Amino acid sequence: MRNRIHILNGPNLNLLGKREPEIYGARTLADIEADCIALGRDLGLDVALFQSNHEGGIVDQIHDARETAAGIIINPAAYTHTSVAILDALNMFDGPVIEVHISQVHKRESFRHHSYVSLRADAVIAGCGTQGYRLALHRIASLITGTDVTG
Ligand code: CA2
């Protein structure tokens, strides 16, 4: 619990690496999962990755994290821009929350410029590609264990 981080991913992110590589890169969600688990080990974090195509599934994962995780990294995908339910669930979580977007949402359509989740997130990373998950892990390690040496 103390060093456990849940990385939550929203709808369609199960198709990463299989479509639109010019926007979302060539790496699959399984690649990202393996990479984040390995980096987490180096940072002293026990990392678990989840994905759901359903709003309620993500809400359930956030509720689960209340009992089992010290921090949440979340890419809510399209629900970023629509979901008060996910915002409300995150507001019931006590630890740090970092929001990640693979693409630079502010360079895209205006409906992607607003995020409900940002009202709760302690940090937001956008436009760093799938490296954003690694950056989020470094930051959350600083917040939780104080072990990140990258500053
Ligand atoms: O840039 C991001 O990470 C987004 O959260 C991705 C969402 C989009 O709705 C947000 O505005 C920004 C879309 C995820 C779609 O996932 C795909 C995966 C593979 C191929 C195509 C789309």
- Please tell me the total count of domains within the chain: 1
Best of 31, 55, 80 for a ligand 1 pocket test (most atoms within 8 Å of beta carbon): 80
Domain of residue 36, residue span: 4-145
- Rounded to whole angstroms, the Cα distance separating 139 from 96 reads 10
Quote the distance between the C-alpha of residue 24 and its chain's center: 15
* pLDDT tens per residue, range 123-138: 999 999 999 999 999 9
Predicted structure pTM score: 0.96
Active site residue 24: yes
CATH of the domain at 66: 3.40.50.9100
Neighbours of 148 (CB within 10 A): 17
How far apart are the CA of 79 and the centre of ligand 1, in A? 10
User: CA 133, 118, 16, 25 torsion: positive or negative?
Assistant: negative
How far apart are the CA of 20 and the centre of ligand 1, in A? 9
Q: Does ligand 1 lie within 6 Å of residue 75's CB atom?
A: yes
Is the CB of residue 133 less than 8 Å from the CB of residue 36? yes
The answer to whether residue 150 sits within a structural domain is: no
* pLDDT tens per residue, range 57-82: 999 999 999 999 999 999 999 999 99
The answer to whether residue 139 sits within a structural domain is: yes
The answer to whether residue 10 sits within a structural domain is: yes
* pLDDT tens per residue, range 82-126: 999 999 999 999 999 999 999 999 999 999 999 999 999 999 999
